[in-house]
Structure 1
Amino acid sequence: MFDNFLNLSRFHKRLVSVAADVVVLIFALWAAFSLRFDQQFWIPNTDQLVVCGLTVTITIGVFVKLGLYRAVVRYLSDRAFLTVIYGVVISAVILILLGYWLEVLVPRSVPFIYGALAFIFVSGTRMGVRMLVNRPKRRNKQFVGIIGAGETGMELARALDRGMEYHPAAFISLLKSNHRTLINGIPAFDISHIERVVRDHRIKRLLLALDEDSGIDRKRLLQKLEPLAIPVQTVPNMSELVAGQARINDIRDLEIEDLLGRDPVKPDNAQVAAGLYCKAVMVTGAGGSIGSELCRQIIRHRPSRLVLFEQSEFSLYAIERELQTLNRIENLGVEIQALLGNVIHRRRCEAIMKGFDIQAVYHAAAYKHVPLVEHNMIEGVQNNVFGTLRVAEAAIECGVERFVLISTDKAVRPTNVMGASKRMAELVLQGLAERQSVTIFSMVRFGNVLGSSGSVVPLFRDQIRDGGPVTVTHPDIIRYFMTIPEASQLVLQAGSMGQGGEVFVLDMGEPVKIADLARKMIHLMGLTEKTEEQPEGDIEVVFSGLRPGEKLYEELLIGDDPHGTSHPRIMKAREISMPWDELERVLDQLMRASQEFDCGRIVSLLRDAPTGFAPNGDVADLIWCQGQTPKPKSASVVKLS
């Protein structure tokens, strides 16, 4: 029968609602008089019947005028109940006025009793219908616990309650004072009782909804959640919600910052802004992981012009579209120019810098994937070493004020060509910094970037979703980690601090063991590790062996005497450099070896230069290994001049 009612048309449902209100209003009037006269079966006289009938009729008209019958019962809000209150108050006043005008006995207490009963009956019927409608839907929802009972948590609970997928069964509060309280009708418990709450409330998923200013130690929080073996997910942060990039109920896997388990680096925004505001800025590799995030942060400092330089057409299109949208929504007023090109081409770079009066360059264009560069050695050296040289020379020629190179911790005592090529790029900028004073060159060296293309976190996540196994190269391999926003903030900070030739590094805290990171991800996705001791587990961790050029741990400093800066988490060091004449000879030889496709010679030159390069295997270039070494048709070789 109830299902038949739900299947009625909107018009017929409204007729049923009107009929139900007529019945409950008549009953409320009769009950009010009965209670006032203390009669179990009060029978009205004719005049009282007329007053009651007119009151009910006019009240229904008031309800119609207030829009009460336009409200969909299953989605009733607080505003609908305010409408009921307004209607009931008007109805009680009508009862008083009718009794006065028609000179019918209506005791003064009756309108008050009637108003209270009418509100209870009118709103109660709607509440009852809403509960009946929503109960089957709620049974089909997955029960979730919301960690955090602040504004973010309550907003999430309201959104989930209106949705079709999740039912907020309990709040897990980080304040002991909230234990065993009700927040928006949902029970709240202290986090120390989380195991019992998960069990008693049949919670199948935990959602992190922490306010940005909560000051919660996320690392300790995740340590408490990891043994529960149920999925832990999060909601978008406030900046994404404000920008309209996400909704509060867009549930997703844990943020990389959560997995990192440490406080992010806070930049000195005033100092950064001073170096970017109303400046013409160019970012090379603007479509890459680091380059695109640099652009997002630079544009918020309102440069006069932002030039995006990228060789990938689609990546350039994507970042330009995103930045144009951000520029329009936040009314930043930044001129955005998207240009295709390769950093190897100096004249192209020079034309761009002159044409747009570039004042600062952030050089993020590089090949950074260790095995790929190891297998494509010539392209890696050309892009990382000579690309940096060409852009830097163009910057000097065009009078660019600042030039910041995005380097890597793999440039420290490298065991692979990628790291050696990035260290060579550092040597190039150090040499250029010493032979001229037009452009301030600085380098920023940081560890692995979580969430970038090729990062282990999305790889592990895909492997876990596919049922495993999760592949780790070695059980003891460790890495320093930072997020893309952190890396970009450090680059901007260093760009404003550089005086010429410095290498900036971040105090990144303790390194992370990759195997432990993989296990943490397995547990926080609600699964268990499959081991010999636990053969019924879900996901197995498999060790595949170190790849070509890979080492067990990375370093950030070559020397042991780092110097502090004005930023407490940023250090600098003047690493060993080469005189320009000597460096130029090495670069000439590297160029000749590249043009002759002599990978063995390239390795030898990188090893002999003060890069600290100590390859841990044979040359792994794929074409070199096939024995194909094409020679130039002409003996002429392009010089660096």
Structure 2
Amino acid sequence: MHVSVSVRSLLVWLFDLVSVVAAWLLAFLLRFNFEWPSAFAETILLVLPVLILVQLVACRWAGLYRGIWRFASLPDLYRVLKAVVVSAVALLVIVVLGLGQFVIPRSVVALYPFLLLFLMGGGRFAWRMWRERDYYLHRQRGKPVVVVGAGTAGAMLVRELARSNDWRVVALVDDDRSKWGRELAGKPVEQGGVRALAEVLTRWGARHVILAMPSASAEVLQRVAQLATKSGASMFTVPGLNELMSGRVAINVMRPVKIEDLLGRETVSIDSENVSRMLEGKRLLVTGAGGSIGSELCRQLSRFAPECIVLVETSEFALYMIDQWFKEHQPGVRVIPLVGDVKCRHRMQEIFEAWQPQVVFHAAAYKHVPLMEIDNAWQALRNNVVGTYLAAKFAQRFNAERFVLISTDKAVNPTNVMGASKRLAEMVCERLQHQAGVTRFEVVRFGNVLGSTGSVIPKFQQQIAHGGPVTVTHPDITRYFMSIPEAAQLVLQAASMGQGGEIFVLDMGEPVKIVDLAHNMIRLAGFAEDEIRVEFTGLRPGEKLYEELLADSEETLETPHPKLRIAQSREVAEALDQQVERWSQQEQPLGDEEVRKLLKHWVPEYQPYSFE
């Protein structure tokens, strides 16, 4: 039955009025053993209107009528307490002053506020329990779920899910022994902690686990994920602490655990003020704007109010997708989507001459190691080296303030054409920095990014979706990983700090074994390890077992940012300028072996892959 707001307010007002009357009379009855105190009848009747008036004014002052009884909680009890204290003080004043005629027993003065608090507060909570009786009477609704974590987040989650018809918390597990055998919001905290998760899931018939530990480490996540998936349970997690504290999301907004969670990358914090000074009101240009890193860079750049962002991309579809993103999410940012190939001198000149960007982010590159190794070596050299040279040269000619090259850990002691060509691209920027001009040339070097085009994670996801096998090249192969947004933010941070000529190295954390990554992804997809097998295929051409972020001859310097260091590399020969210029004008392609010899000449640490 629907009751209007005005009627509800009147009913609440009447309830509080009745509570005052009941508390006042009950105080006297308790004082005189439930016999009517005739001697105090006049006092009872004369003081009661004063108490009613004081209480109703106090309730209004305390904001008591803003609360919704169905969701009565501690803030509501606090408001009731404030109103009762005012009423108690008023009664005390009446007793002290006496007003020449009132004599009130001291026990009544003490009993009245306690009874009033009990009636007003208890009535509100009794109403809430009555309205939520469906939950208590029909506990079998919703999917049974076990919550990992009996702390503050766990308590909040259990209370929120109590109102849901989709989930039914049956138990909690926590490694804190002091909580074992206790209850949290009416739910048992099971003995044995997290290691007993499989047994708890079986006993309660639950096939879902929610990790209510927003600040849990990657190791904890991995352990819980392994136990949950071995039991055939799906695993979810709650939002992170920063999201909860900001109020952007509620505790009960759960999501499946992702592989990024298991890698344990910390949240990146950047000096937004410094980055804003570099970008605000500026004309920006991003090459490779439709790629994984390029598109995320564009999204991050849009936050800093640039005058415009010029999007340069060879793929029509990729360019269309990032342009559509801006139309949908950042319609106020001016973008200029341009199809262009960084290897084309005339197109690059046309773009730079027309828009004269002040800050250039060069993300265009061929990056797939095996593809570039066989029959595509010349194209890798042209795109990664000549393309960088042309974009950097025009940035310098048209007085761009900064040119930022996105590089890779594969440029360190390279064993493949792709890595060697990216190292040569770094050297091109180092050479241009030593020439006269206003442009600052900076290089940012990092490892693999999670979910980027052609990376291992989308490949594994596809293989798992098809039932396996998941192919790993070698049981000992390791890689560094970071998320795409993290990489893009650190690129901006490095760019804003650079004075020109630096090679910034990002802190990639600990290397991850690819076979462990495969097993984790299989488990997160809800499969046991015997359902989808991992198959080793052998190292591919040019592939290393271990990636490095610094060459042996390089030293690093600290920066003000904890996740950035500066690599100091050897001096680059002046003749490199003329060599790259000749490549830019060369029409006849070179064979793979000739390209490798040229790369070996300019990058002595390059150790070409042996095809024997």
TM-score normalised according to structure 2 size = 0.71
Q: Residue 129 of structure 1 corresponds to which residue in structure 2?
A: 127
Q: For residues 436 and 338 of structure 2, what CA distance do their matches in structure 1 show?
A: 29
Q: Match of 2:110, SS?
A: helix
**1:562 partnered with 2:557:** no
Deviation of 1:481 after TM superposition, in Å, equals 1.6
CA contact (8 A) 1:341 1:348 kept: no
Once the two structures are overlaid, the 10-residue window that deviates more, 483-492 or 190-199, is 190-199
RMSD over aligned Cα, in angstroms?
A: 5.4
Q: For residues 356 and 403 of structure 1, what CA distance do their matches in structure 2 show?
A: 15
Q: Residue 262 of structure 2 corresponds to which residue in structure 1?
A: 259
Q: Match of 1:551, SS?
A: coil
Q: Residue 528 of structure 2 corresponds to which residue in structure 1?
A: 529
Q: Residue 580 of structure 1 corresponds to which residue in structure 2?
A: 577
Q: For residues 2 and 113 of structure 2, what CA distance do their matches in structure 1 show?
A: 31
Q: Residue 447 of structure 1 corresponds to which residue in structure 2?
A: 447
Q: For residues 496 and 483 of structure 2, what CA distance do their matches in structure 1 show?
A: 20
Q: Deviations over 1:257-305 (max 9, x none)?
A: 54223667887889878866886543333454323444566677x6875
Q: Residue 360 of structure 1 corresponds to which residue in structure 2?
A: 359
Identify the match of residue 211 of structure 2 among 207, 217, 223. Answer: 207
Change (3 A) 1:156 1:384: farther
Change (3 A) 1:486 1:69: closer
Q: Residue 71 of structure 2 corresponds to which residue in structure 1?
A: 75
Q: For residues 117 and 26 of structure 2, what CA distance do their matches in structure 1 show?
A: 13
Identify the match of residue 116 of structure 1 among 106, 110, 114. Answer: 114
Deviation of 1:94 after TM superposition, in Å, equals 7.7
**1:283 partnered with 2:275:** no
**1:28 partnered with 2:23:** yes
Change (3 A) 1:259 1:111: same
Q: For residues 503 and 475 of structure 1, what CA distance do their matches in structure 2 show?
A: 30
- 1:571 maps to amino acid: A
Structure 2: gaps (5+ residues): 314-318, 601-605
**1:609 partnered with 2:606:** no
Once the two structures are overlaid, the 10-residue window that deviates more, 183-192 or 419-428, is 183-192
After TM superposition, list the pairs within 5 Å mapping 1:387-466 onto structure 2: 387-411=387-411, 419=419, 422-423=422-423, 425-426=425-426, 428-429=428-429, 432=432, 439-457=439-457, 460=460
CA contact (8 A) 1:388 1:425 kept: yes
Q: For residues 414 and 306 of structure 1, what CA distance do their matches in structure 2 show?
A: 37
The number of residues matched between the two structures is 576
Structure 1: gaps (5+ residues): 1-6, 326-334, 532-538, 594-600, 619-641
Change (3 A) 1:22 1:101: same
- 1:207 maps to amino acid: L
Q: Deviations over 1:233-280 (max 9, x none)?
A: 2414527964x7655543334466542236678878898788668865
Q: Match of 1:560, SS?
A: coil
Change (3 A) 1:403 1:130: same
Q: Deviations over 1:498-545 (max 9, x none)?
A: 67666554464543111201323455x4956332xxxxxxx5234374
After TM superposition, list the pairs within 5 Å mapping 1:38-53 onto structure 2: 39-42=33-36, 47=42, 50=45
Change (3 A) 1:319 1:271: same
CA contact (8 A) 2:401 2:438 kept: yes
Q: For residues 265 and 187 of structure 1, what CA distance do their matches in structure 2 show?
A: 36
CA contact (8 A) 1:529 1:541 kept: no
Q: Match of 2:403, SS?
A: strand
After TM superposition, list the pairs within 5 Å mapping 1:49-64 onto structure 2: 50=45
CA contact (8 A) 2:183 2:189 kept: no
Q: Deviations over 1:31-58 (max 9, x none)?
A: 3112211x14547687578569858976
Q: For residues 10 and 270 of structure 1, what CA distance do their matches in structure 2 show?
A: 51
Change (3 A) 1:364 1:111: same
Q: Match of 2:558, SS?
A: coil
- 2:242 maps to amino acid: M
CA contact (8 A) 2:285 2:361 kept: yes
- 1:580 maps to amino acid: D
TM-score normalised according to structure 1 size = 0.69
Deviation of 1:363 after TM superposition, in Å, equals 0.6
Q: Residue 237 of structure 2 corresponds to which residue in structure 1?
A: 233
- 1:75 maps to amino acid: F
Q: For residues 607 and 397 of structure 2, what CA distance do their matches in structure 1 show?
A: 31
Q: Residue 481 of structure 1 corresponds to which residue in structure 2?
A: 481
- 1:610 maps to amino acid: L
Change (3 A) 1:68 1:446: closer
Change (3 A) 1:451 1:93: same
Q: For residues 434 and 498 of structure 1, what CA distance do their matches in structure 2 show?
A: 15
Identify the match of residue 85 of structure 1 among 81, 88, 93. Answer: 81
- 1:120 maps to amino acid: F
Identify the match of residue 532 of structure 2 among 532, 540, 543. Answer: 540
Q: Deviations over 1:355-382 (max 9, x none)?
A: 6553432211334455777899598776
Q: For residues 278 and 181 of structure 2, what CA distance do their matches in structure 1 show?
A: 50
**1:307 partnered with 2:309:** yes
Q: For residues 268 and 305 of structure 1, what CA distance do their matches in structure 2 show?
A: 21
Once the two structures are overlaid, the 10-residue window that deviates more, 571-580 or 397-406, is 571-580
- 2:321 maps to amino acid: F
Deviation of 1:170 after TM superposition, in Å, equals 8.7
Q: For residues 376 and 316 of structure 1, what CA distance do their matches in structure 2 show?
A: 33
